[in-house]
Structure 1
Amino acid sequence: MMRLSYLILLTLTIAMFSSCNTKTSSEDHSFKVMTWNIWHGGVHGTKLNKFKKDRSNTINIQKVLEQNEADVLFMQETYCCGMEIAKKAGYVYSSRGNSNLSIHSKFPIVEEVKYLKGRNSQGVVVKIQGKRVLCVNIWLNWLPDYLTYVDTLSVDSIIAGEHSTRAKEMSDILARIDSVNMRLKLPVVMGGDFNSSSHLDWNEKNKQWHFNKILKWPTSIMTMEKGFKDSYRTIYPTPNVKEEITWGFHGEAGYVMSDRIDFIYYTPSMLDVLSSMIVKDDPKGAFFSSDHRAILSSFRFK
Structure 2
Amino acid sequence: MNRSIITIQAFTIAVFSIISCQSVKHGKTNKHANVRVMTFNLWHGGDAVKLPRDTTIKYQLEAIRRANADVVGFQEQTTNQSNNQSRAKLLADSLGWDCHIIDGSRAVISKYDFRPVDTTTVSQAVLLQLPDGRYIVFGVMHLMYTPYEPYDIADRKLLSTEEAEASARETRLHQVQGMLDEVAAYSDYPTVLVGDFNEPSCLDWTEEAIRNRGDTLLPFAVNWPATALLIEKGFKDVYRDMYPDVKQRPGYTWTSVEGLWRTPEIHDRIDLIYVSKNRFKVIEAQVVGEPSPMTNVVIETWPSDHRAVVAELEIR
1:263-274 equivalence runs, <5 A: 263-274=272-283
Distance 2:119 2:304 in 1: 30
Distance 1:284 1:272 in 2: 25
Map of 2:167 onto structure 1: 161
In structure 2, stretches of 5+ residues that fail to align are: 1-28, 79-84, 292-296
| Other-structure match for 2:308 | 294
Q: Hey, what does 2:24 align to over in structure 1?
A: none
Q: TM-score, normalised by structure 1?
A: 0.79
- d(CA) in 2 for partners of 1:165, 1:76: 18
Match for residue 141 of structure 1?
Answer: 144
Distance 2:92 2:253 in 1: 21
1:245 pairs, out of 252, 255, 263, with 252
Residue 309 of structure 2 aligns with an amino acid whose one-letter code is: I
Which whole-Å deviations, capped at 9, do the CAs of 1:222-269 have from their partners, x for residues lacking one?
101100010000000111377421112778xx9860311111111132
Measured in 1, the distance between the counterparts of 2:97 and 2:173 equals: 34
The root-mean-square deviation of aligned C-alpha atoms, in Å, is 2.6
How far does residue 62 in structure 1 lie from its aligned partner after superposition? 1.3
TM score, norm. by length of structure 2: 0.76
Structure 1, gaps ≥5 residues long: 1-24, 46-51
Aligned residues: 264
Aligned partners of 2:148 and 2:199 also within 8 Å: no
Distance 2:248 2:264 in 1: 9
What residue is the counterpart of 2:128 in the other structure?
A: 126
2:109 aligned with 1:104, yes or no? yes
Does residue 228 (structure 1) correspond to residue 261 (structure 2)? The answer is no
**Percent identity over paired residues:** 26
| C-alpha contact (below 8 Å) 1:228/1:267 kept by paired residues | yes
2:202–2:222 CA contact under 8 A, matched in 1: yes
Contact conserved, 1:132 with 1:186, CA < 8 A, in 2? yes
Amino acid across the alignment from 1:44: A
Give the alignment of 1:156-235 within 5 angstroms: 156-178=162-184, 180-182=185-187, 185-208=188-211, 209=213, 211-235=218-242
Preserved contact between residue 35 and residue 74 of structure 1 (Cα < 8 Å): yes
More deviation, 211-220/165-174: 165-174
